[in-house]
Amino acid sequence: MSRVAVVTGGSRGIGRAVALRLAADGQAVVIAFGHSSAPADAVVAEIAGKGGQAAAVRADVADEAAVAGLFDVAEQRFGGVDVVVNAAGVMHLSPVAELDLDELDRMHRTNIRGTFVVGREAVRRIRRGGAIVNFSTSITRLSLPTYAAYAASKAAVEAISPILAKELRGRDVTVNAVAPGPTATELYFDGKDDATIERAAKMNPMERLGTPEDIAEVVASLAGPARWVNGQTIYVNGGVA
């Protein structure tokens, strides 16, 4: 029986790369998307074209009923849930003095409440031997100006994950967070000029931005063979310090 993964934010960027990688590893994948169905349908078609199994479901990660429906699809279509990758997230950059509090609430709803809602449903549904992977950011360590609100929302994810790992004692389920550094995605490029992107690429000893596939490689390990890594935040950033 193949493992079954639920990937939120799986239609774009890092989430898309994760969905494709898990499918390539033989897992059936249910992709949750928030808005346009076209990108999610394209990922499903790409997986199916390579002989894999996938489905796409519209689901707001902060909505309990929508997330329950997402897990229902995984169970009905593929028989259960073994892996939950919570890659959905939003980012708004602003100095604290100029912060739009509505944007703060939006990040809180998706990045923090969404992690709780998805995590709660995962605890109720995930099978023994499963894995939960949440997403933080290396910005929690770098303390860059304009990132305060976003970093705060992701620091909450780092707090949630090891506690959830302990709450799952005896279930043989791991819970970890992955914290990417600057990664070449639409979300990262939004609002940044070329000079800013070039500086970010030089921040690590590898002297490049990460790729979504770099991050997906680590997630795939946590979602499969890396059973002795639990309750950790893994910084995947090429050595940014």
DSSP notation for 146-191: T-HHHHHHHHHHHHHHHHHHHHTTTS--EEEEEEE-SB-SHHHHTT
Task: Answer for the pair 171, 149: CB distance below 8 angstroms, yes or no.
Answer: no
Grouping H, G, I as helix, E, B as strand and the rest as coil, residue 132 is strand
Distance CA 146, CA 157 (A): 19
Give the H/E segment covering residue 212.
Answer: helix 212-222
Q: Tell me if residue 147 is catalytic.
A: no
Contacts of 121 (CB under 8 A, 6+ apart): 64, 67, 68, 70, 71
Contacts of 142 (CB under 8 A, 6+ apart): 240
Distance CA 42, CA 22 (A): 16
Burial of 28 (0-12, 13-18, 19+ CB in 10 A): buried
Active site residues: 150
